[in-house]
């Protein structure tokens, strides 16, 4: 995990200022290998997905996908995993604070340069040497595949690969929906929007091939000698 210092941040959804205490955040999205330990402990696996897109992109049912982010899980599974691991889901405010490198004016984890397939796992429709378009395989990539998508604190893949669940609800439907943050391998022409503007609301029981999870953990005013595992 990576230590994220606290501070004041303006949340894009309501334009209010929030004071955040220091916290820890997973350096990568939760991987298939990590989620498998959760399932092996007796928890339910992701549902078997059908359909061409799901069969191509849902990582749980792939072979040799241990280092890819888990996806095709709903909010309840994401929360249950984090709690099982001794952690929690980040709030949307914490997520945006970490993604911007704790800098209010920073548009993207790497700075202000326009997003590209070289920087993050996206789907920008860029024609490649093999004649295909997009950044790759129409599915997630192994975590950390794009070093450019790294925050100043060292957190990777916050802009692309898969969007990530948060504990924050939509104020209009607090009990039924939760906010996901970030872009994904399926993000196209709107990728140049600032990172805080990416994401959306979804029912807690809904899942998507472009949605995953990254966990957080409370921290004191100073980081401990060793990070939590």
Domain positions in the chain are 2-218
Q: What is the mean pLDDT of the chain?
A: 82
Q: Are strands 177-181 and 2-4 parallel, antiparallel or unpaired?
A: unpaired
Pick 2-218's CATH classification: 3.30.70.20, 3.40.50.1980, 3.90.1580.10, 1.10.3720.10.
Answer: 3.90.1580.10
How confident is the model over 37-54, as pLDDT tens digits?
999 999 988 877 666 666
Q: Are 109 and 27 in contact (CB under 8 A)?
A: no
**Two structure tokens written together for 30:** 């939760």
pTM of the model: 0.85
Q: Parallel, antiparallel, or unpaired: how do β-strands 17-20 and 177-181 relate?
A: unpaired
């Amino acid at each position: 995990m990576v230590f994220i210092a606290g501070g004041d941040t303006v949340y894009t959804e309501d334009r209010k200022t929030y004071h955040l205490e220091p916290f820890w955040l997973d350096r990568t999205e939760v991987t298939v290998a990590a989620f498998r330990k959760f399932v092996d402990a007796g928890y339910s696996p992701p549902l078997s997905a059908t359909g061409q897109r799901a069969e191509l992109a849902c990582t749980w049912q792939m072979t040799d996908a241990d280092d890819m982010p888990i996806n095709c899980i709903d909010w309840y599974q994401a929360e249950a995993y984090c709690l099982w691991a001794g952690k929690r889901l980040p709030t949307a405010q914490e997520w945006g604070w970490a993604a911007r490198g704790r800098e209010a004016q920073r548009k993207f984890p790497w700075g202000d340069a326009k997003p590209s397939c070289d920087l993050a796992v996206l789907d920008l429709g860029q024609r490649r040497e093999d004649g295909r378009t997009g950044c790759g395989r129409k599915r997630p990539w192994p975590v950390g595949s794009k070093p450019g998508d790294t925050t100043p604190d060292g957190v990777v893949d916050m802009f692309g690969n898969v969007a990530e669940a948060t504990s924050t609800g939509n104020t209009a439907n607090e009990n039924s929906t939760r906010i996901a943050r970030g872009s994904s391998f399926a993000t196209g022409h709107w990728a140049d929007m600032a990172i805080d503007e990416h994401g959306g609301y979804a029912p807690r029981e809904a899942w998507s091939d472009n949605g995953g999870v990254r966990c957080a953990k409370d921290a004191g005013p100073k980081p401990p000698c060793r990070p939590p595992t």
